[in-house]
Amino acid sequence: MASITLKDVVKRYGIGPKANQVIHGVSAEIADGEFIVIVGPSGCGKSTLLRMVAGLEEISGGDIAIGGRVVNDVEPSERDIAMVFQNYALYPHMSVFDNMAYGLKIAKVPEAEIKTRVDKAAGILQLGPLLQRKPRELSGGQRQRVAMGRAIVRQPQVFLFDEPLSNLDAKLRGQTRIEIRKLHAELGVTSLFVTHDQVEAMTLAQRMIVMNAGRMEQFATPDEVYARPATTFVASFIGSPPMNLLTGQANGASFTLDGQTVPLPAPAPRNGELTLGLRPEHVVAGGSGGWPLKVELIEMLGAERLVHGQLGSHAFTLRMDGMLTPPAVSSTVQLQLSAQHLHWFDVATGVRVE
Amino acid sequence: MVERRTTLGIFAHAVMILGVLIVAFPLYIAFIASTHTSQAILQVPMPMSPGGHFWENYIAALNGHGGGAGSNAPVARMMWVSLVTALVITFGKIAISLLSAFALVYFRFPFRGLVFWAIFVTLMLPVEVRISPTYKVVSDLGMLNTYAGLTVPLIASATATFLFRQFFLTVPDELVEAARIDGAGPMRFFKDILLPLSKTSVAALFVIQFIYGWNQYLWPLIATTGEQMYPVVVGIRMMIAGGDSGNEWNIVMATAIMAMLPPAIVVVLMQRWFVKGLVDTEK
Amino acid sequence: MEKRVRFDSQVLPWMLVAPQLAICAVFFFWPAAQALLQSMQVQDSFGLSTEWVGLDNFKTLFNDSAYLESFQVTAVFSLLVAVLGISLSLMLAIFADRVVRGALFYKTMLIIPYAVAPVVTGVLWVFMFSPSIGVVAFGLDRFFGFQWNHLLDSTHAMTMIVTAAVWKQISYNFLFFLAGLQSIPKSLIEAAAIDGARPWRRFWTIQFPLLSPTTFFLLVINMVYAFFDTFAIIDATTHGGPGRDTAILVYKVYQDGFKGGDLGGSAAQSTVLMLIVITLTVLQFKFVEKKVNY
């Protein structure tokens, strides 16, 4: 059983009144075999959270349990985990083979078994011809695979990935992403993957933890996070181009934005000040009686166009298919909204309102 | 570090404290001894806490009024000689090496390679390997017992030149080109651009060379014949010539403390540059 | 390494290197040449006539048991100083790397021996180890019943100069080891920890191998230090005694040349020393250039 349980996990630097709290009570239940991505902007605490699970950072409050066992005071070497670092952390003075065999040697695994496991991992990751080379003779992508191979041979309860794709070029990143998915399908080991890239998060995660400033804002499947973001932060972080957020007064089936009242296809969940979220891909330009958008700038991206304009004093972006005729710059188009794609958020807290 | 193993943490501190004690012990003994009377120290064991004769002893040492059987030269004079020597060597070395390194890196001239190797070879000729003939040269030039004799033979160092050369090689070419476009000649470039950039290296070398100059022993021993040109490190050696019981150990220790003070102050105050420079110099 | 850009002046560079070259010529090359010359000559006791004897001085030297003894003494001395100095400093550096609180204090204290002149170290040691009044001699007697006398016992004398030399070198070695340790990326240590390695194992399988360039470098530096910079310590403490048992090579050069008046023999010794330095320096430049890439 390699579930992971985070219960009110807190991280503080320093002690006493001047202590700096960077993680504020994160709780999550991760089932055996799940591939979980922790995603958020730089400095949100995602790496710190991962390192606490690894045992590389002390836990200031709350509990972390791996496979049902609370590991707060357990050394990293005893947690039966494996980690892939952002800069690979390969032992420079050892060959690829020895790098992968290191952990097994320490665990006193018999030599024959070591060879079997390393060869198997090398096979999966296509490292066979590189086994006797030193890390400095390998390319970035190759080093990455060695780092993963080192994790695989340990056959641990949990895999931890700390932004492993950040140092690769774009093409390699895409390829490696797919390899990681295949690996997970084959090995089925519980995995925690940290990244700041929302595309990686959306494509790799079975469920994802979206973090912001030390808080977990949402823990759900990619579909859920996309279709029903829990906060304005999640709403604007996931999805590209980001969701348009408009703050105004809701009154039944109409919405007042900068003094202009426009109709809603469905009534707001409550009256009063609310933030309305509309994804660029869920708004259509055309027709009449919609929301008047003053077109300022159009970006041509081949398969699609991004139309940037002003809705009152709010900037607004809408996405349209590349084959359709775009509106003229400085013209005003009517935006048609869809009832299923309205997102409402409380203005003060940013929390979703149903 | 990775773990919170508290036992390891305590052990680490214990080791560090032990190390500091080993380092501090001789210095502590020296200081204690410098504050007692001569008789108090000659008793076995000597006292372990400071005595009341601090000023007495240090003033006696400075004025050369110790009554020991060894040399009784005034320490004040010797400190002065040491200071002048160390500063001349330091500034001289830095200045000469800056100029040589600048020439070696930024100019192309015939026999440049030869000049480089000539300087390199001097690394392999420490003073101890050529004492007699160097002595003769200095003597022939009439430089014995002079500040010049104490400093000039030690001023041409390869290490400083190499350090600067290494550093200059890392300065971006664009700076030279920009300077040229701005109309600056080589010496202008050197003075206005290269020198300010070299500040850290100069600071590190200052510490290293000051200590080198201040602590020089063998060469001043040979190049001076009279007490009045002894640097303090030579003087202190002469003081213990009276044998264990004949020396005024309290005066000797006071001299030792004074001899250690200027280099220690320089090292501690310029610690950051010094450490960085030391590690970078040798690589 | 070459710079792409150059200044054009032909006169200026010569003016810039002139001071250094001049001093090198007068105080390095000329005396070194003289030393070489003298090593192949013999002077009579009044210094009035000199005779060319080729390599005879060297032959005499290597047949002289005193000289060979000095070689042995120097070898033992420098090995002890290098090995002890490096081990002690490495241990201090490892633990200094671990502590966070008080790190600056420890580091500052440990740097201080660097500032102490070798000769002053010698004087301190004479004071502490004096068989009659020294505090260490007293302690050894009182607590261990051990009679210390470096004036009579060669092993005591050797111990004395070795400890003085090592004490003085602690700072230098410590700083290099600490820098070496701190240049190892933290993620390597973490990866090893996650792979299951405890601190002791991590040190021997990861940190120590990655420190090998530093260790080798310090080995050479410490040997050069033991060969030359320890002159002052010996002159202050044992004067090469008892007998000749702590007369390292460089001390013998001084003794024979300046005290004994044997210029030819002393010059020959200087030449041998020169060859030793050249070998060590070449070693340092050639083999220490290998750096570990991360």
Nearest CA in chain B to A58: B4
In sequence order, the 6+-apart residues with CB closer than 8 A to the CB of A185 are none
**Predicted pLDDT of residue C1:** 47
Query: Do B201 and B271 form a contact (C-beta atoms < 8 A)?
Result: no
In sequence order, the 6+-apart residues with CB closer than 8 A to the CB of C87 are none
Those chains having 3 or more beta-carbon pairs within 8 angstroms of chain A are B, C
- Please write the tens of the pLDDT for every residue from A80-90: 999 999 988 99
Rounded to the nearest angstrom, the minimum Cα separation between A192 and chain B is 20
Residue of B259, B213, B271, B12 lying closest to C109 (CA atoms): B271
Q: How many angstroms separate the first and last alpha carbons of chain A?
A: 37
Average confidence score pLDDT of chain B: 84
Nearest CA in chain B to A72: B4
Report d(CA C250, CA B175) in Å as an integer.
47
Q: Provide, as residue numbers in chain C, all residues whose Cβ is less than 8 Å from the Cβ of A75.
A: 193
Banded model confidence at residue C294, pLDDT cuts 50, 70, 90: very low
Q: Provide, as residue numbers in chain B, all residues whose Cβ is less than 8 Å from the Cβ of C34.
A: 130, 133, 136-137
Q: Provide, as residue numbers in chain C, all residues whose Cβ is less than 8 Å from the Cβ of B112.
A: 13
- Please write the tens of the pLDDT for every residue from B97-117: 999 999 988 888 888 888 888
> Any chain B CB within 8 A of the CB of A241?
no
Q: How many angstroms separate the first and last alpha carbons of chain B?
A: 27
Report d(CA B36, CA B248) in Å as an integer.
11
Asked whether residue B2 carries a pLDDT value surpassing 70, the answer given is: no
Side by side, the strands of the sheet bearing A207-212 are A81-84, A158-162, A190-195, A35-39, A207-212, A215-220
Side by side, the strands of the sheet bearing A20-30 are A20-30, A4-13, A61-66, A69-70
- Please write the tens of the pLDDT for every residue from A297-331: 999 998 999 999 998 888 999 999 988 888 888 88
**Greatest mean pLDDT range, B50-59, B143-152, B267-276, C77-86:** C77-86
Tokens of C244: 């000749």
- Please write the tens of the pLDDT for every residue from A19-75: 889 999 999 999 999 999 999 999 899 999 999 999 999 999 999 999 989 999 888
> Any chain C CB within 8 A of the CB of A77?
yes
| DSSP H helices in chain C | 11-24, 30-39, 56-63, 65-98, 103-115, 118-129, 135-144, 154-182, 186-194, 199-202, 208-210, 212-224, 231-236, 249-254, 263-287
Tokens of B155: 């001023």
Report, as an integer, the average pLDDT of B121-136.
80
Report d(CA B270, CA B274) in Å as an integer.
6
In this prediction the pTM is 0.82
Q: Is A281 helix (H, G, I), strand (E, B) or coil?
A: helix
Report d(CA C72, CA C26) in Å as an integer.
34
Omega of the bond prior to A242 within 30 degrees of 0, cis? Answer: no
- Please write the tens of the pLDDT for every residue from A236-257: 999 889 999 999 999 888 888 8
Average confidence score pLDDT of chain C: 85
Query: Do A87 and C185 form a contact (C-beta atoms < 8 A)?
Result: yes
Q: Is A26 helix (H, G, I), strand (E, B) or coil?
A: strand
Report d(CA B155, CA B93) in Å as an integer.
5
Report d(CA A238, CA A221) in Å as an integer.
12
Residue of B242, B216, B247, B250 lying closest to B230 (CA atoms): B216
SS (H, E, C) chain B: CCCCCHHHHHHHHHHHHHHHHHHHHHHHHHHHHCCCCHHHHHCCCCCCCCCCCHHHHHHHHHHCCCCCCCCCCCHHHHHHHHHHHHHHHHHHHHHHHHHHHHHHHHECCCCHHHHHHHHHHHHHCCHHHCHHHHHHHHHHCCCCCCHHHHHHHHCCCHHHHHHHHHHHHCCCHHHHHHHHHCCCCHHHHHHHHHHHHCHHHHHHHHHHHHHHHHCCCHHHHHHCCCHHHCCHHHHHHHHHHHCCCCCCHHHHHHHHHHHHHHHHHHHHHCHHHHHHHHHHHCC
Q: Which of C16, C113, C193 sits opposite B103 (nearest CB)?
A: C16
Best of C4, C50, C90, C127 to disrupt the B interface by mutation (most B CBs within 10 Å)?
C127
> Any chain B CB within 8 A of the CB of A296?
no
Report d(CA C14, CA B2) in Å as an integer.
56
Query: Do C240 and C234 form a contact (C-beta atoms < 8 A)?
Result: yes
The residue type of B105 is V
